[in-house]
């Protein structure tokens, strides 16, 4: 995992990609983030899915698919992330992506200012792999939650916290991510039960 990337720097890289054309592909975003480590590649789809873009049908599920694929590879200890070419070709419109990034940048700056390298034992193996396993579970519950507007914010927000903890080497953020996962595990089954009823 790379501990050198900040949340703002990662979003800046994505914005640079978005400014290059009318649309941006997942391939372009992944290639721009690849040298920063695996955690930023996990962070970006989680944040996009939890952003206003997550209100667009199918976006949370597509971002959850990216989260799932990345998390499996982090849990396996891979240093380079592979995504299927069909997924890498998917496009996001520049205006929508830039608008979502602009809304997230102030939050990213505040997070970076508050972050510290503390409780670093929480952001080392095997806890990072346990975190990746949690992210797998969180990604799997996103698709049925699309029936509830913005309900995917909770699981994808927890994934974003896990990725932030790995990026910033902040064990307190990792602890918060585990708490958020517990909250999701408590509330989501009730939401799904209400949908089934």
Segments of the chain with pLDDT less than 70? 1-4, 197
CA atoms of 9 and 40, how far apart (whole Å): 10
Q: Are residues 144 and 192 in contact, defined by beta-carbon separation less than 8 angstroms?
A: yes
Structure tokens at 96: 């929508």
**Residue 164, pLDDT score:** 96
Q: How far apart are CA 182 and CA 130, in angstroms?
A: 14
pTM over 0.95: no
**What was the pLDDT predicted at 22?**
87
Q: How many CB atoms lie within 10 A of CB 100?
A: 24
Residue 197: per-residue pLDDT: 64
Tokens of 193: 């039960």
Q: What residues have CB less than 8 Å from 116, skipping those under 6 apart? A: 170, 172
Q: For residue 83, give every residue at least 6 positions away whose Cβ sits within 8 Å of its Cβ, in sequence order, or none.
A: 26, 27, 30, 66, 69, 70
Say if residues 10 and 103 touch (Cβ distance below 8 Å).
Answer: no
**Per residue in 81-125, pLDDT tens?**
999 999 999 998 889 899 889 999 999 999 999 999 999 999 999
Q: What is the pLDDT of residue 2?
A: 39
Phi and psi at 148, nearest 5°, equal -110, 115
C-alpha span between 70 and 82 (Å, rounded): 8
The predicted pLDDT at position 4 comes to 56
Q: How far is CA 43 from CA 26, 118, 189, 194, in A?
A: 13, 20, 24, 30
Outline where the chain has alpha helix (H): 7-18, 26-33, 38-50, 59-75, 85-88, 94-114, 127-140, 142-145, 153-168, 171-196
């Amino acid at each position: 995992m790379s501990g050198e990337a900040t949340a703002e720097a990662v979003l800046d890289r994505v914005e640079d990609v978005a400014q290059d054309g009318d649309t941006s592909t997942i391939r372009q975003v992944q290639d721009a983030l690849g040298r920063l480590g695996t955690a930023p590649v996990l962070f970006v789809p989680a944040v996009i899915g939890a952003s206003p873009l997550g209100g667009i049908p199918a976006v949370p599920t597509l971002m959850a698919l990216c989260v799932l694929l990345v998390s499996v590879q982090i849990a396996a200890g891979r240093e380079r992330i592979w995504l299927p070419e069909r997924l890498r070709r998917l496009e996001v419109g520049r205006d929508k992506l830039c608008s979502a990034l602009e809304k997230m940048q102030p939050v990213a700056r505040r997070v970076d200012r508050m972050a510290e390298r503390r409780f670093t034992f929480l952001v080392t193996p095997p806890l990072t792999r346990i975190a990746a396993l949690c992210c797998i579970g969180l990604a799997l519950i996103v698709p049925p939650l699309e029936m509830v507007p913005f309900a995917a914010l909770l699981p994808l927000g927890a994934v974003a916290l896990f990725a932030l903890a790995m990026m910033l080497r902040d064990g307190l953020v990792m602890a918060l991510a585990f708490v958020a996962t517990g909250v999701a595990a408590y509330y989501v089954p009730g939401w799904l039960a209400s949908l089934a009823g």
